[in-house]
Structure 1
Amino acid sequence: MKKNQIKYLLGGIFFLSLGVEQAYAIPSFARQTGFNCAVCHTVFPELTQTGREFKLHGYTMNNSEKNKMFIPLSAMVMADITKSSDRTDMPKDGKIVIPQVSLFYGGKITDKSGAFVQLTYDGTELLGKTDIAHHIGMDNMDIRYADATTLANKELVYGITVNNNPTVSDLWNSVPAWGFPYASSAIANTPSAGVMADGGLGQAVGGIGAYALWNDLLYAEMAVYRSAKPGGIMGIFGWKNQDLKGDASLVQGTTPYIRIALQHSYDNSYIMLGGYTLRTVINPAVVSNTDGSLDTYNDRAVDAEYQYTNGSNSITATATKIWEKQTLDYSAANGEADNLNNSLSTTKAKVSYYYDQKYGASLGTFSTSGTADATKYGTFNASPNSRGEIAEIDYLPLQNIKLALQYTKYDKFDGASKNYDGAGRNASDNNNLYFLAWFMF
């Protein structure tokens, strides 16, 4: 990593820190509620119980004294540097990258409705000479209506969500949309295989769902999604809209999503156990698919979250496992998969400790395994299996500025530990050290 690159990044951190006085996650939420960021977050974007309540109630909690002349806009800038073990195929290795610049609308709309809407500029190669990603569009979005009543003499909070990413409406950091790592290198190599529920539909669909929490115990959510077609009304939800002029994949029909969770608080602890399902039908070749055959992905998952807070000490542990069954009618018939039926599973877990919401460390593990299919996954030895660990240390000089140093280690990559690509490349060659400066305004 070049010294002048580090110097420029640290100089930018100092400049962006000037004049920052308060501690916010999405600053517009903090201005609306009058809360310090520490009330709703352990360290952003990880939620506390108050943060989950704020989201559950439709982003409507309000402090009238703090809310005069309030404009619910916020901004985010990320700057990072990645150093890989083998950087022969990474032209931006060791150089400053601006992976995201975002503008947020975040806050109350009416007494019973609110929104979290993120518009993002993807500047992965902003400071480089070779463009890989360079566009602007809608990122995560969650618009809500919420109210409360009683059922069996217990409080029932219920609502409606319109969003563009299954699990983005979720209250917990165990699901893919909000799971660890909360940020990672945009230029580092990643495994070829992944289940659909693990971000495969983010911003490519738009949907509507209903949710309810009864007795502060049982949470349920049901939603349906459809493809964010270019030029159509659903296009407002997505920025990964497929180009229908070519052979692009497109979600077909309606994708149902179901979420169930049980939660309980006691003393200084909080625990959640839950699960979610997702069924997606894909047309892998929108234009040239003449026989009408499709590919179907059925995902089932279990997840859990534990949180402990005591004074300045905070511990959060999360875990999820997703099982996927693939029925590849189109891909198998058209030479894009070796098998008609595949199985694939992903497991992720992490534990974090934060002191005084200023210093923190996290340790996570991840693995993917499934049916060998060289054509489907494009791997040399046919296997989709990968696994590894992630370690991260965080420092927040101010609570709306996070400095993170993250190391990702691969024990297996695309099916093997050694020579996974047939050209002598090992899994460990993809290990990377990642430094992030994350600013919220």
Structure 2
Amino acid sequence: MLPLPFRRRPRTPGHAGMWAVLALLLSLASQSAQAIPAYARQTGSACADCHAGAYGPALTPYGMRFKLNGYTDTDGQGTKIPVAAQLTETHSNPKTGPSDTSLTEGDLYLAGRVSDNVGGYIKVEADHTGHNTYNTRLSNVDLRYVAKELKIAGKDTTIGVSVNNSPGFQDPIAALPNASFLAPGGTTATLLNPAAPNSPTNRVIGATVYALYDKVWYAEAGSYRSLAPGTQDELGYNRNGDPGKLSNTGYFRFAYMKDMRTQFFSAGVVALTTKRQLPRAATRDDIDDFGYDLTYQYLGNREHIVQASYVNIYERRDYGQPLPNPAVPGTFESDNGSARDQVTSLAYTFRQTYGLQLSRLKSTGSQSAARYPPFGNPDSTINLITVFWAPFGKDDSWITKGNLKLGATWFRVSRFNGRSSNVFGAPPGAASTDASDLNAFSLSASIAF
């Protein structure tokens, strides 16, 4: 996954490397997809009907059906303008380094139905990049055509096509990293992880065909290709993050989804396979992702909601060109490698207003002195603790078609670069950085309208 030009230089314990890691960790919590008021206005439903917490991102079975139906469901009360917006103010307080308070993100959503069979989701995102400067980019895209109310062998069937730019974002269960926005961060990760180095997230375009049979069996298959570097640049993405040239790419998803009214359970498998050239003139690496996921929701009467999920994705890599082994001059490292991402999450929501979420994000990979200096070990473990308050977006609240969310998140890093101490390999006598020095705390306020 990390060929020759992406070889990482040995990191120093200086501030630059540490701030880069902190920025990555903070972004994992700030990029969560939220309830889109345009959908609430279109359907006549409150935000809490689709989301376990009234502001999102976790979907209820009702929200999953809305997504499967191509974002086209409506209350039939005339045409609604499919536009919404979100603003997020964040105070970041890292354990080591200066605190910062800024308007971190402004989002514009073009989201809703075009016709009975066509609908979509487009997010344009402006991210704070420095003093009074912002970078505008095209974020997640999911455009759909859907045929509903079909019958196959007497069973209800829905068949659709999704054109999207992030493998896994279109998934209705919203457990995969691109949909849940819970992604392990570190020096390696799987292609299905948006925090992976040179991730394909938002930098590819593809189409998948999906079907829901008998309301419980879900299947999806499709393909992707990476956008040209110039196109990525025009869409607001730095060329250094180019995922490379992808070919023979296939995406596959199969899941069992059971809505039991007061409870929901799903079990699924996912695969992504491709041949990648990074940079684009390099030899091809064969990359195959295989994963499984389990989710459970206790919804009850919506006063107490409990959600649990586990995702495990394994990536197999066959490198087109092995790297020289720095530990044994004159030899080469293995041309095979692997990576694994695991995400465990448990959330409790009271009256869809007050919430607590605990998440453990773990990334591991095969040893490689050339690819993962200074220790040859890319393993990382991050724990997130999040509490939030979302007062609106419910049928009995003052505002049902918009919302406010106040949240606090603790980032606890217990392992980075395979170590808990001196994670950047400072020489004897120099100041070192421990994994816990990467801890951070953030407060955020978001409003959607």
Q: TM-score, normalised by structure 2?
A: 0.81
* Number of aligned residue pairs: 389
1:34 pairs with one of 22, 32, 44: 44
Distance 1:236 1:146, change over 3 A: farther
Aligned to 1:356: 351
- Gaps of at least 5 residues in structure 1 are 1-23, 88-92, 185-189
Q: 1:276 aligns with which of 270, 273, 276?
A: 270
Structure 2 matches for 1:291-440, cutoff 5 A? Answer: 293-311=283-301, 312-330=303-321, 332=323, 338-377=333-372, 379-399=373-393, 400-423=403-426, 424-440=432-448
Cα offset, 1:285, TM superposition: 2.2
SS of the residue aligned with 2:381? strand
Q: Which deviates the most, 29-38 or 115-124?
A: 115-124
3-state secondary structure, aligned to 2:169: coil
Aligned counterparts of 1:365 and 1:263: Cα–Cα separation in 2: 24
Shift of 1:237: 10
Given the alignment, which residue of 74, 80, 87 partners 1:62? Answer: 74
Query: SS at the partner of 2:425?
Result: coil
Q: Is the 8 A contact 1:173 1:305 kept in 2?
A: no
Q: 1:104 aligns with which of 101, 106, 109?
A: 109
Q: How does 1:215-294 map to 2 (within 5 A)?
A: 215-230=214-229, 239-240=236-237, 242=239, 250-286=244-280, 289=281, 293-294=283-284
Shift in CA distance, 350/237, structure 1 to aligned 2, threshold 3 Å: farther
Would the alpha carbon gap of residues 267 and 30 (structure 1) be closer, same or farther in structure 2, given more than 3 Å must change? closer
Deviations 1:56-78 (A, max 9, x none): 0011111122x34x211011112
CA 1:259–1:382 in 2, change beyond 3 Å: closer, same or farther? same
Distance 1:355 1:249 in 2: 41
SS at match of 2:41: helix
SS of corresponding position for 2:81? coil
Q: What amino acid is aligned across from residue 324 of structure 1 in structure 2?
A: E
Retained in 2: the 8 A contact 1:163–1:237? no
Which structure would you say has the larger RCO, counting Cα contacts within 8 Å and 6 or more residues apart? 2
Task: Check the 8 A contact 1:144/1:161 in 2, yes or no.
Answer: yes
SS of 1:329's equivalent in the other structure is: coil
CA distance in 2 between counterparts of 1:45 and 1:398 reads 15
C-alpha deviations, 1:24-43, integer Å up to 9, x for none?
92011011000011111112
Percentage identity across paired residues of the two chains: 27
Aligned-pair distance for 1:318?
1.2
After TM superposition, the runs of 4+ consecutive aligned structure 1 residues lying more than 4 A away are 235-239
Q: Does the CA-based 8 Å contact 1:97-1:126 persist in structure 2?
A: no
Would the aligned equivalents of 2:367 and 2:378 in 1 still touch at CA under 8 Å?
yes
TM-aligned CA deviation for residue 191 of structure 1: 2.1
Counterpart of 2:122, as a letter, is V
Write the distance in 2 (CA, Å) between the matches of 1:224 and 1:354: 37
Aligned-residue CA RMSD (Å): 2.4
Query: For structure 2, which runs of at least 5 residues remain unmatched after alignment?
Result: 1-33, 327-331, 394-402, 427-431
For the structure 1 residues 249 and 110, does the alpha-carbon distance in structure 2 shift closer, same or farther, using more than 3 Å as the test?
Answer: closer
Retained in 2: the 8 A contact 1:228–1:237? no
* Deviation of 1:267 (Å): 4.9
1:106·1:117 contact (CA, 8 Å) conserved in 2?
A: yes
Q: For 1:255 and 1:82, how far apart are their aligned partners in 2?
A: 38
| One-letter identity of the residue aligned with 1:210 | V
TM-score, structure 1 as length reference: 0.83
- Distance in 1 separating the partners of 2:361 and 2:246: 30
1:3 corresponding residue in structure 2: none
Query: Counterparts of 1:381 and 1:97 in 2: how far apart (Å)?
Result: 36
Aligned counterpart, 1:123 = 128
CA distance in 1, matches of 2:138, 2:383: 31
